[in-house]
Chains A and B, each alone.
Chain A
Amino acid sequence: SQKIEQNSEALNIQEGKTATLTCNYTNYSPAYLQWYRQDPGRGPVFLLLIRENEKEKRKERLKVTFDTTLKQSLFHITASQPADSATYLCALPMGAIYNQGGKLIFGQGTELSVKP
């Protein structure tokens, strides 16, 4: 069955450094991959979607890469700030066709802590 794995250990970095989070998946060829941010006790917030034919996508200080050969996505936050501290989740759609949409499988999330 499909499986998604993220760094299980929390990531602690110093303010101003680049945070890099990893998402690996198996037994699957998704049409796209998404990243969400979740603060304690709150719902996830959509950050970025990258499609299988896109190698890299950027949004302000965020950068996502998608390597369909390695079955891996990397999520980077440059010039990190304490306000970036949260849990980051990667998610894949259940279905190889983009226009099926809907059902997402989430990784367990990686907790990021940015120290001032």
Chain B
Amino acid sequence: DAGVTQSPTHLIKTRGQQVTLRCSPKSGHDTVSWYQQALGQGPQFIFQYYEEEERQRGNFPDRFSGHQFPNYSSELNVNALLLGDSALYLCASSYRDRGEQYFGPGTRLTVT
């Protein structure tokens, strides 16, 4: 049973560029959430997708956008990258309203 997978594992981008991160949820899960984790901090909620729609959103600017596909996989897009966007980006999946979430290994984004 495959867990949550994310790609790529590492990414280096320049300020002002755009990036797309990808996530495949755990088998049987239909809800995907994205989190940003800075070094030494807990994950911060970006947004959540269910039935291909954004269901909830955290305090992140519109530069952060996402998408969920019919097979429940998801993408996170960040435009006009800033140095402060450097972080570990985590994808988590769950089934409907079940509380526990299953996280992927994350994508380490470095903006130079």
A residues with CB within 8 A of B: 4, 32, 34, 36, 41-46, 49, 89, 91, 93-94, 98-109
Contact = CB atoms under 8 A, between A and B. Distances in A.
A28 B8 CA distance: 36
Given A107-B42, A108-B42, A101 B98 contact: yes
Given A42-B105, A43-B90, A102 B97 contact: yes
A89 B42 contact: yes
A55 to B, nearest CB: 18
Contacts of A36: 103
A46 B101 CA distance: 7
A109 B37 CA distance: 12
B48 A46 contact: no
Contact of A98 (B94, B97, B105, B108): B97
Interface residues of B, number: 31
B99 A34 contact: yes
A110 to B, nearest CB: 10
Contacts of B43: 44, 89, 104, 106
B55 interface: yes
B4 interface: yes
A99 B97 contact: yes
Contacts of B45: 94, 103-105
Contacts of A91: 42
Counting chain A CB atoms within 10 Å of each CB, the highest count among B43, B99, B102, B104 belongs to B99
Contacts of A104: 33, 43, 45, 101
A102 B56 CA distance: 8
Interface in B8-23: none
Given A43-B4, A44-B90, A107-B42, A100 B100 contact: no
Contacts of B42: 4, 89, 91, 106-109
Contacts of A49: 99-100
Contact of B44 (A46, A101, A102, A106): A106
